[in-house]
Chain A
Amino acid sequence: MIKIVEQPINTEEVIDLVKSDAAGAIDVFIGTVRNKTKDNRVTRLEFEAYDKMAISEMEKIAERAKSQWPVEKMAIYHRKGILGIGEIAVVIAVSTPHRKASFEACQFAIDTLKETVPIWKKEVFENGEVWVAAHP
């Protein structure tokens, strides 16, 4: 249910993982590569991951979500390597009995992922590159 992949993510596959007869809602977050940051045109993103720890931190997120909301299943796929504009970097899918909890648990998962999971993204521009969020 939790994976770091080097090939394009199949969103349908991630959604299928969380389907459950007890669920009345599945919420899906898809993070995609944007073509600019402020006024700088982005040409690609490069993701690096400390795989072992990234997986264990994402597992913790799923566990915490399950302790706070009535989550049936949660799946998180994060891609690494070089991604072009419009490609999918992350997919989070969560199923719950009712919709409100699925929205909340999914938002919690992506917000926490951005704070705790050891994955790094470099934005490559036409005239330079920067590790995102590295500096204040």
Chain B
Amino acid sequence: MRIQILSFGIAKDIIGGSTTEIEIPDDQNTVGHLKSKIIDQYPRFEDLRSLKIAVNNEYAQDEQSISAEDEIVIIPPVSGG
């Protein structure tokens, strides 16, 4: 399944835009698998202090499952304030 992903901050620089699509096998539809795919395709994510995924506006755990309808966002280390 193809997953549409939004990105902000340094993630936008690494991906080269604010959206991208990642293909994951239907039987590996978890946040953890998605993260691995993202790092495979964009190895610079491995250099970051952290890499989190938000699903529908909430921080997601690696074991959480995702579908193509979810709003999925890469959350690189935050630095507000």
Contacts and interface: CB of A to CB of B under 8 A. Distances in A.
21 contacts: A53-B54, A53-B73, A113-B80, A113-B81, A114-B81, A116-B78, A119-B78, A119-B79, A119-B80, A119-B81, A120-B76, A120-B78, A121-B79, A131-B10, A131-B13, A131-B79, A132-B79, A134-B9, A134-B79, A135-B49, A136-B49
A13 interface: no
A34 to B, nearest CB: 12
B81 A120 contact: no
Given A50-B8, A134-B48, A117 B78 contact: yes
Contact of A121 (B54, B58, B80): B80
Given A53-B57, A135-B48, A90 B13 contact: no
Contacts of B17: none
Given A120-B10, A135-B47, A50 B80 contact: no
B43 interface: no
Interface in A44-64: 47-50, 52-54, 56
Interface of A: 31, 47-50, 52-54, 56, 78, 89-90, 110, 113-122, 131-136
Contacts of A136: 49
Given A135-B47, A135-B49, A120 B80 contact: yes
Interface string B6-47: 101110110000000000000000000000000000000001
Contacts of A115: 78
A50 B54 contact: yes
Looking at chain B, what size class is its interface with the partner chain? 20 to 34
Binding site secondary structure of chain A? mixed
Contacts of A49: 8, 80
Contacts of B10: 120, 131, 134
A134 B58 CA distance: 20
Q: Which of B8, B48, B80 has the most CB of A within 10 A?
A: B80
Contact of A118 (B47, B49, B54, B81): B54
